[in-house]
Amino acid sequence: MSRFINLLIVHCAATANGKALGNAKENAAQVIDRWHKDRGFHRASPGNSNGLTSIGYHYVIETDGTLLTGRDESEVGAHVAGHNATSIGVCMVGTDSFTPAQWATLKSTILRLRDKYRNAEICGHNQFANKICPGFHVPDWVDGEFAPLPGHIVDPK
């Protein structure tokens, strides 16, 4: 089933800046999946077979720049109330400062999604809710031609 996508929404995991979320037992998407399961999220009929049952985001970017898949793009997300049906959610591990590798992956991911979903506006979760997420003003990042924003860059730990 094809969905009409008009929003690409950037999020943060609200975790320590520059510190990997994944560990020896779980990658970052698996950790977030567990968190979302605890909050009552559930994927009705997963569009991919990655074994995640609850994650609300379509993509997660770990501190080393690894792009992890959560929900399939064909699935409605669970990441921004009132806009899930027509959006794709991309979550960066951290809160308000991100590694150069994360910024590079965010840029390439958003540009690929923008090419695929030509009518989509690029936004931050904080444009729809009174939250810090993703810890920076996404329109400034877009206006800056997707360059990492000064004051929002951290060295990986």
pTM of structure:
0.95
- Report pLDDT for 43: 81
Whether 11 is catalytic: yes
Structure tokens at 18: 């520059």
* CATH number of the structural domain 7-143: 3.40.80.10
Which pLDDT does position 157 carry in this prediction?
63
In order along the chain (157 residues), what is the average pLDDT of each group of 10 residues? 90 96 94 92 78 93 97 94 97 98 98 96 97 97 97 87
Q: Cα dist. 33→22, 38, 100, 111, 156 in Å?
A: 12, 9, 25, 25, 23
Catalytic residue among 36, 83, 125, 152: 125
Return the pLDDT at 155: 85
Asked whether the beta carbons of 84 and 75 are under 8 A apart, the reply is: no
Domain extents for the chain?
7-143
Q: Catalytic residue among 11, 36, 83, 152, which?
A: 11
Asked about 117 being catalytic, the answer comes back as: no
Which entry of 36, 57, 59, 152 is annotated as an active-site residue?
57
